[in-house]
Amino acid sequence: MKTQINWGIIATGGIARKFAEDFRFVENGTLLAVASRSQDKAQHFANDFHIERAYGSYEALAEDPDVDAVYVATPHDTHVELSKMCLEKGKAVLCEKPMAVNAAQLESLLDTAEKSGIFLMEAIWTYFMPVVRQAKKWVDDGRIGNIKMIQADFGFKTPENPKDRLYNPALAGGALLDIGIYPLAMAHYFAPGEIADIKASAIKADTSVDQTLGMVLTYDDDIIANLTASFRFQMENAAYVYGDDGYVKIHGNFWHPHKAVLMKDSGIEDIVEDDRLSTGYDYETNAMTQWLLEGKKESPVAPFSWSRKSVETMDKIRELIGVKYPFE
């Protein structure tokens, strides 16, 4: 029986570096290989993180018989193709969000996963954060009564640069897919019901993708989610779950938070704090490593049904705000 999972990383950008840095906190896993389309870049990355194998093509990494699981950290528009390639070669896949840029793409990927019987998970790292899990436990334990509203904002400032991936429609750019997915993930995490209605407004960049978003989701159990996202300005980036008997505030940046408080009329009733040394990618990596060792085929925390809900919500919002990618 396997006791150790060998990981590979596809891509060498900023998020891949953070993932590799956090790997020192992963148990029962080894970061064995990294791949770039450039052998130099791969080798440089491998040197930085003491990774044994550096590949100058993604295919080469996927062919490595010693690699068990692959983290796909390329731009959005390539996720489906590369994840499929890895699954077809028998590698478990942790794919960055959004795993697919629309529902049709996602179904084609899930089809491959189901046919191959290989583990595939969308990298919604926020769900694995200790602070977020404690916030969920408070809510599930009824500490704030019945959920009434969820609020979450993700705003940071980046210059309006049409050459930036974020602004490029051909690379599935825009605030929604890149960061709006996090406030939406908060809503999906805390609102148990089906989405009954969605309202959304966007400010577009000159490249026609959304740069600022306001979204209101209504659920069939009368919960409202009020969400925003922008890459044109910095926000406080807290998330709130409001109940009829108190609320939980997850302090900014809520997608990898260090603190949450449980508020009642009388003031703060409970606090959870996280003094981790990692950025926080290690939690999802540890969880997936464990599930692979246990022989699981799907993530209990972010199953295929979660990815479906996520992408279908974003498809609907893009329809409402009129953002269509050239490849669609």
Binding status of residue 237 toward a second copy by CB under 8 A: no
Binding of a second copy at residue 313 (CB under 8 A)?
A: no
Nearer to a second copy, 34 or 202 (CB): 202
Instruction: Specify the residue, 31 or 185, whose C-beta has the smaller distance to a second copy.
Output: 185
Cβ proximity to a second copy, 181 vs 213, nearer residue: 213
Residue 293 Cβ vs a second copy, minimum distance, rounded to whole Å: 42
**What is the distance between the alpha carbons of residues 287 and 319, in angstroms, rounded to a whole number?**
34
Q: Which is nearer to a second copy, 203 or 271 (CB)?
A: 203
Residue whose structure tokens are 């669609």: 328
For residue 198, the minimal CB distance to a second copy (Å) is 9
153 burial type by CB count under 10 A (0-12 exposed, 13-18 middle, 19+ buried) = buried
Instruction: Give min distance, CB of 219 to a second copy, in A.
Output: 10
Angstrom CA distances, 285 to 116, 128, 307, stand at 21, 9, 18
**Peptide bond before residue 192 is cis, with ω within 30 degrees of 0:** no
8 binds a second copy (CB under 8 A): no
Spell out the residues 6+ positions from residue 45 whose beta carbon is closer than 8 angstroms to its own: 9, 12, 16, 17, 20, 34, 36, 51, 54
State phi, psi for 272 to the nearest 5 degrees.
-125, 135
List the catalytic residue out of 91, 97, 136, 297.
97
* 199 flagged as catalytic: no
DSSP state of 25: G
Q: Which two tokens stand for residue 162?
A: 């049409």
Q: d(Cα 217, Cα 114) in Å, to the nearest integer?
A: 30
Residue 264 CB, shortest distance to a second copy, in Å, is: 9
Of residues 36 and 226, the one with the C-beta less far from a second copy:
226
Q: How many helices (H) and strands (E) does the chain have?
A: 10, 14
Q: Judged by CB under 8 A, which of 39, 44, 103, 224 binds a second copy? A: 224
Residue with tokens 């926080």: 280
How far apart are CB 132 and a second copy at their closest, in Å?
18
Handedness of CA 292, 298, 299, 304 (dihedral sign): positive
Contact set for a second copy, span 156-215 (CB under 8 A):
157, 197, 199-201, 203, 212-215
Residues 261-300 touching a second copy, rule: CB under 8 A, are 263, 265
CB of 72 vs a second copy, minimal distance in Å: 31
Among 102, 134, 230, 313, binds a second copy (CB under 8 A): 230
Residue 253, preceding bond cis, omega within 30 degrees? yes
How many residues touch a second copy under the rule CB under 8 A: the total is 37
What is the distance between the alpha carbons of residues 3 and 203, in angstroms, rounded to a whole number?
50
Of the candidate spans 23-31, 46-54, 55-63, 150-158, the one that interacts with a second copy by CB under 8 A turns out to be 150-158
Asked whether 203 and 163 are in contact (CB, 8 A), the reply is no
Q: Which stretch binds a second copy (CB under 8 A): 63-71, 107-115, 165-173, 244-252?
A: 244-252
Residue 125 or 242: the one with the smaller Cβ distance to a second copy is 242
**Of the candidates 268, 241, 269, 266, the residue with the CA atom closest to the CA atom of residue 254:** 241
Summarize as ranges the residues that interact with a second copy (CB under 8 A).
148-149, 151, 153, 155, 157, 197, 199-201, 203, 212-216, 218, 222, 224-226, 228, 230, 232-236, 240, 242-244, 246-247, 249, 263, 265
- List active site positions: 97
